[in-house]
Amino acid sequence: MKNWIVLALISMFFAGLTSVIAKMGLKNVSSDTGLAVRTVSVVLVVAANAFLFHSAKDFKNLSWNDILILSISGITAGLSWIFYFRAVKIGEVGQVALIDKGSIVVTVLLSLFILHEEFTWKTALGGVLIIAGLLVLTLK
């Protein structure tokens, strides 16, 4: 199995844990407070990872354009997390997570048009199945 697939599967596992644990932690606080605590934890874990694996030395390689693009990515991630946590607070975490994963379709489309990545029949079929699943979940 390719390394990136193993890493993606590990990411999938932790993302699944994240949603359920977050729902448990939002029991007595607002979604915004819960997200603030979670974000501080994320910053600490990611910073520790960068220093432990000596990636911190890469900061000198960042251009202003890299910083701008990565900052915009951070802003969009933050906005995603705000709305995700609000939805998890009031909805069923399983359904919220499934709808949230519809972002895969957005990612694939943007990767095709902006990054000019390859489009295959597998990608098309996977996207259609994801959209079908979203329709099943959201239509009455």
If you search the block for the tokens 């079908």, which residue do you land on? 132
CA 84 vs CA 6, 34, 87, 98: distances in Å: 26, 11, 5, 11
Provide mean pLDDT across the span 13-23: 92
Q: What is the pLDDT of residues 99-129, one digit of tens each?
A: 898 898 899 999 999 999 999 999 999 989 9
Please compute Rg for the chain using Cα positions: 17
pTM for the model stands at 0.84
Domain ranges of the chain: 3-92, 102-140
Over the stretch 69-90, which tens digit does the pLDDT of each residue have?
Answer: 999 999 999 999 999 999 999 9
Residues in Cβ contact with 102 at an 8 Å cutoff, skipping those fewer than 6 apart? 130, 131, 134
Q: What is the pLDDT of residue 113?
A: 94
